[in-house]
Structure 1
Amino acid sequence: MRLAAWAERLPVPSGDGAGEPWQVVPWQRRLLSAIEDPRHQVIAVTCGRANGKTALSGLIARAYLPGGPMFAPRRQVLVVSATHQQARILVEDVSAWKPRPADLETLKEAGYPWTVANSKQTARVKAGTAEVRAVAARPKSLHGIRPDLIIADELTQWQQAPAMWAALRTSLGKRKGSKLLAVGTRPMAGSGHVFDRLLEGGADLVLKYAATEEDERAGRLGWRRTWRKANPSLDVLPTLEETIRKEWAEAKQDEQAMAQFKSLRLNMGTSEVSSLMLLDAGVWDRHLGDAPAEGAYVLGVDLGTTAAMSAVSGYWPKTGRLDALACFGDQPNLLQRGLADGVGDLYSRCWKRGELILSQGWTSDVKDVLEAAWSRWGRPSAIVCDWWRQGELKTALGSIGFPKTALIPRRMGFGDGAEDVRDFRRAFLEGKVTPTRNLLLASAVSQARVIVDPAGNEKLAKNVEGGRRKRARDDAAASSIIAVAVGHRKRDLAAQPARGLRTALAR
């Protein structure tokens, strides 16, 4: 147990107990013991989110550098994460445990100078020939590796998991005693994902912490005892328990939140969504109202293509008001469009209510809907749009002389998209959104569907993904998601002065 004893002399790098001596809890002691045991080459660990898996992985990686019990000359540790940004977080933890100043000088004299590179291009901690290197999960980044330890961080989130796994597995035999540690939340049971196979006996040692179907049948999902099954660090992380209690309260109100709770907090290997709807109809109906348009607002923009609809949504964080407006070309007419899309006279009714405007020709002109939003709602504190179409939006804004406003681009995949869908729902459950009685918006949300990846992340579906109708017009839902999510996260955005049309970060 050299590794556990050494760990207890290190400070906690961040979060609960930051700066205090590391308290090795039983599940961590089991894992640290397995790292030292030569009988275990492949180790798989799964538990609920935010139990300190990444920090513990960083501690294990640090043990292979000078001053750690696993150190030897030319030690190589490779950390593989879903994204480079995630990889950098682990490198930050490793670098936090740097040697004391006197030891740094000794290492330098002995040929082990301590260097840290943690940028958008490189994530590495090096001491002479010993190195911890973190990379994103891309097969081309693994050529020529000969690691002593591989840490596969949140394996279920990797986009190219089979190819990555094949490359990593074949590299293990290049050095005697090399190991692979896979950590993360469970993928959906029976998904055939690499991590699912490891947890079902493919690894030499499996540490699985999860609630069970029996807990659900017996009505025990809200019991603290059940939470501890999936969250082995619950007793030493007060913030974790506080977060779980809050999310449990939300889960009891909403079917979608319950699906997320079971997947991510109870680690049950279920889909993060019980159905593929964006928002439960009951939740939407409970929050309908006519909140005033007071304070600054965030404008979400969804740009249409060819004959598609373009939509904008306004969200006022101060009062929770959510409103929307959309645009079609006037050819063909709205009744013909409605019949083709299978919604009858819906578009005609929305036009009469002032929720839908028309551009001349066959395509929607985003300039028309932006001018209408500006006229109705005034200058927004920020505009949120699709990352890949921000150039088109900037051109349109400039052509109509739109007032100076911060521009926040968001990607629509399982990264930004999952975060935005999650925060959109959370804002509703916390009572921070009051949608107006807008027929266009209600229809868009009812038609919107989400898809889920094996890691339980979800994003808005396109085309016929997730059971979505191919001709569904959910553009107003798309613009509402990004407006509410950013407005909910950045409640101080209204206080920020506009300094020209610029790109801002949503995080």
Structure 2
Amino acid sequence: MKASTKAIRFLETLAIPEGPLAGKPVRLAPFQKQFVRGALGKDVNTAILSIGRGNAKTALSSGIALGALLGEWDDQPRREILIAARTRDQGRIAYDFVAGFARSLPDDVQAALTFRRSPRLEITFEDDGGEHSLRVIAADGKTALGTAPTLVLMDERGHWMADQGDALEHALLSGLGKRGGRALIISTSAPDDAHPFSRWIDEPVPGSYVQEHRPAPGLPADDLASLKEANPGAKHGIGADLNWLQAQARRAIARGGSALTSFRLYNRNERVSGESRDVLLTVDEWQACEVSELPPRQGPCVIGIDLGGSASMSAAAFYWPETNRLECLGTFPCKPSLLDRGRNDSVGDRYVEMARRGELSTLGDATVPVAPWLSNVMRHVEGEAIAALTMDRYKQAELGEAIDRAGIRCPLVWRGQGFKDGGEDCERFRRAAFDGKVKTNPSLLLRSAFADAVTLRDPANNLKLAKARSTGRIDAAAATVLAVAEGARIAGRGNSKGGRVAWA
């Protein structure tokens, strides 16, 4: 008999340990049977499940862990099952499910089980093959060194701390090879495509089984069909029902901000940033700025410049206040390559994809040469009337010299990036975005930048742009804020009545 068949039969002998259906027999839903068959299939050593919160993924995996401990389909002596989680308390959830399922086992099997909660969460089982163990470890790679597990459960892998989580994953997977073990990696979606959990899904390796329940991006949060897709257990009585999910979606839409992004991340299983700090724009607010057809280049253009160094990106944003059209381009030095730079910044091949879409280019060697880059920027809007070139005054000397060398003749506006100028620019940009006065094509460059762009507030509630993570690249967002804010000031001043200097 196949291991998956044995596992399904074993799981359906258990009783539900908690919730409204506590005490009733387990009846696996079709998507759960699908995962068990895939995870325990022949030649599969890693199974990945991504699904919305509340769909019993931890309960299902805990039941599999209990069956592995008892040797229902694996008769290796001295079996070792590890439950890995971000924290001990997170791992305790899976431990409690295992303990709850064990209460429905026959008395003689229960008598062979020993439960320990101190100094660590552990369950041991004794039979003719010796003593078998199941224990919980937190996301510290050193705790997994020297282990030889036959089954590993990585719970909520998409939300482990970056460095410690990666170290623990590597330690666990290296130990699995000693005894032909299997790994179950379960989680709601990670915040972005570059996260290791996302890469397990997007770049499956030989010997892996992937099951993802994630709707298409950009749909309304209360869209019923996509809620069903992210929560397949709802129609089988598992977790929240669809009416509750729709009500919560509408509440999140009404509240907006972090409430909406959290709902999309956890309940809709979308890959959106769960950043709880004050984001400049939420994913929904930015997507409202994206249009399928750009308005024309009409009227004067405002150019926002954010000059980077050797590691940072240099970005230029082009904004036409008369039609609300926005364009943005980024530039990196040639060394290191875009692929290597993306790996260093923990975004995978995102920069390569931006270059393929024409949103990102390379120039220079280790740094972007400022004067040639500014010349390229001006060529992008050659023939257009330039209303202003707005830049950060922190690099005024360097930019001023480069502007002279490039022969650029247009009005220059210098802005600070602190709470005074930055607060005004951020608020003007947000107001323009909310009023529908920012329109751009779908841009991976801008999406990525705004996903990493958060704001800091001083005691007077002024804003300042900042990065959500140290390797985030918000240069395109900073340039966009400068351009749109200056465009809003120009639009607010109205048409000039003459008497001013004309720039030739």
**Whole-Å separation in 2 of the counterparts to 1:259 and 1:274:** 9
- Structure 1 window deviating more from structure 2 (130-139 vs 90-99): it is 90-99
1:185 aligns with 2:188: yes
**CA deviations over 1:29-74 (Å, ceiling 9, x no partner):** 0111123322211111101112111111110101113374445431
- 2:64 is paired with a residue whose SS is helix
1:22 aligns with 2:46: no
- 2:211 is paired with a residue whose SS is strand
**Whole-Å separation in 2 of the counterparts to 1:445 and 1:279:** 16
- 2:189 is paired with a residue whose SS is coil
Q: CA deviation at 1:97?
A: 2.2
**Whole-Å separation in 2 of the counterparts to 1:260 and 1:102:** 42
- 1:173 aligns with 177
- 1:3 aligns with 7
**Whole-Å separation in 1 of the counterparts to 2:264 and 2:14:** 33
Provide closer, same or farther for how the CA distance between residues 228 and 71 of structure 1 changes in structure 2, counting only shifts above 3 A. farther
**Whole-Å separation in 2 of the counterparts to 1:445 and 1:179:** 52
- 2:279 aligns with 277
Report how many residues are paired: 296
- 2:97 aligns with 93
TM normalised by structure 1 equals: 0.52
Q: CA deviation at 1:145?
A: 0.4
Q: CA deviation at 1:99?
A: 5.8
**CA deviations over 1:396-425 (Å, ceiling 9, x no partner):** xxxxxxxxxxxxxxxxxxxxxxxxxxxxxx
- 1:23 is paired with a residue whose SS is coil
TM normalised by structure 2 equals: 0.52
What amino acid is the match of 2:121?
A
- 2:116 aligns with 117
- Checking the alignment, whether the CA contact within 8 Å between 1:91 and 1:118 is kept in structure 2 is no
Provide closer, same or farther for how the CA distance between residues 451 and 2 of structure 1 changes in structure 2, counting only shifts above 3 A. same
Q: CA deviation at 1:183?
A: 0.4
**CA deviations over 1:316-374 (Å, ceiling 9, x no partner):** xxxxxxxxxxxxxxxxxxxxxxxxx8569x9xxxxxxxxxxxxxxxxxxxxxxxxxxxx
Provide closer, same or farther for how the CA distance between residues 135 and 342 of structure 1 changes in structure 2, counting only shifts above 3 A. closer
1:62 aligns with 2:61: no
- From 207, 212, 216, the equivalent of 1:208 is 212
Q: CA deviation at 1:101?
A: 8.2
Unpaired stretches in structure 2, ≥5 consecutive residues: 283-417, 424-457, 472-476, 479-504
**Whole-Å separation in 2 of the counterparts to 1:131 and 1:124:** 7
**Whole-Å separation in 2 of the counterparts to 1:198 and 1:32:** 18
1:232 aligns with 2:232: yes
**Whole-Å separation in 2 of the counterparts to 1:248 and 1:206:** 27
- 2:137 is paired with a residue whose SS is strand
Provide closer, same or farther for how the CA distance between residues 65 and 238 of structure 1 changes in structure 2, counting only shifts above 3 A. closer
**Whole-Å separation in 2 of the counterparts to 1:30 and 1:153:** 19
- 2:135 aligns with 133
Larger Rg, first or second structure (1 or 2): 2
Amino-acid identity (%): 24
Q: CA deviation at 1:157?
A: 2.0
**Whole-Å separation in 1 of the counterparts to 2:469 and 2:21:** 34
Q: CA deviation at 1:226?
A: 1.0
**Whole-Å separation in 1 of the counterparts to 2:115 and 2:176:** 25
**Whole-Å separation in 2 of the counterparts to 1:101 and 1:265:** 33
- 1:145 is paired with a residue whose SS is coil
- Checking the alignment, whether the CA contact within 8 Å between 2:39 and 2:46 is kept in structure 1 is no
**CA deviations over 1:69-121 (Å, ceiling 9, x no partner):** 445431211110000001111111111122668633x676xxxx3101124x3
- Superposition pairs of residues 331-410 of structure 1, within 5 angstroms: none
**CA deviations over 1:126-178 (Å, ceiling 9, x no partner):** 112111111101011112100111111111222222222221221121003x1
- 2:372 aligns with none
What amino acid is the match of 2:242?
E
Provide closer, same or farther for how the CA distance between residues 209 and 453 of structure 1 changes in structure 2, counting only shifts above 3 A. farther
- Superposition pairs of residues 172-321 of structure 1, within 5 angstroms: 172-176=176-180, 178-191=181-194, 193-203=195-205, 204-213=208-217, 216=218, 219-235=219-235, 236-237=237-238, 239-241=240-242, 243-256=244-257, 257-272=259-274, 276-277=278-279
**Whole-Å separation in 1 of the counterparts to 2:470 and 2:24:** 37
Q: CA deviation at 1:453?
A: 11
Q: CA deviation at 1:267?
A: 1.3
**Whole-Å separation in 2 of the counterparts to 1:453 and 1:154:** 23
**Whole-Å separation in 2 of the counterparts to 1:100 and 1:237:** 20
- From 76, 80, 84, the equivalent of 2:80 is 76
Q: CA deviation at 1:259?
A: 2.0
- Checking the alignment, whether the CA contact within 8 Å between 1:277 and 1:448 is kept in structure 2 is no
**Whole-Å separation in 2 of the counterparts to 1:448 and 1:243:** 36
What amino acid is the match of 1:250?
R
What amino acid is the match of 1:188?
P
Provide closer, same or farther for how the CA distance between residues 142 and 343 of structure 1 changes in structure 2, counting only shifts above 3 A. same
